[in-house]
Amino acid sequence: MQTTEDKTKLAIEYGLRLLGMRDYSRSKLKKKLISKEYESEVVEQALNRLEELKYLDDERYARYKIKSLILRGTSKNQIMYKLKFEGITLDDSFISEVFDEQNTNESEQIDVLLEKKIRNKTIPDDRLERRKFNDKLLRYLISKGHDFDSSIKAINSIKSE
């Protein structure tokens, strides 16, 4: 029969194997350990030990996740929502700090997304076709979490080629 200490060591080893493949947030790793049917006390001890050893760090994970989402053109609000969904609650200033580190802001993101989306495409001259084209761009920007007004403003600034 295994003692709690033995179970904790096994949980730590499993956690290390998972963290060796990719970074996890505390809440995601907790779910993984619980799904392996470790007791909640053992899971908490293992997570605390992994944090002490600096293998598990929610701030590092959040910073990495934010950077990758910024590169995909995701807005601050959408980033906040995605992190909250993963069990990480941050204030807006932390996300703004990472945006500053990446030398970008949401309006620049919108411009890059639009440029990427319309690259090698001709903007229609026909009013109805232009409307469909703009609607498609708007849906794309909103799917990235950007607000309606900023998106419309950027789309309207596009000159026909």
pTM of the model: 0.80
Best CA proximity match to 71, nearest among 112, 26, 119, 122:
112
Q: Domain 4-56 falls in which CATH fold? A: Arc Repressor Mutant, subunit A (1.10.10)
Distance CA 16, CA 20 (A): 6
Per-residue pLDDT, 42: 93
Helices and strands counted in the chain (H then E): 9, 0
Tell me how far apart the alpha carbons of residues 64 and 59 are, in angstroms, rounded to a whole number.
9
Q: Cβ distance 23 to 50 under 8 Å?
A: no
Q: From CA 56, how far away is CA 24, in angstroms rounded?
A: 7
Would you state the pLDDT for residue 159?
A: 61
Q: What is the pLDDT along the chain (161 residues), one digit of tens a residue?
A: 678 888 899 999 999 999 999 999 999 999 999 999 999 999 999 999 999 999 999 999 999 999 999 999 999 999 999 999 988 988 889 999 999 999 999 999 999 999 999 988 888 889 999 999 999 999 999 999 999 999 999 999 886 44
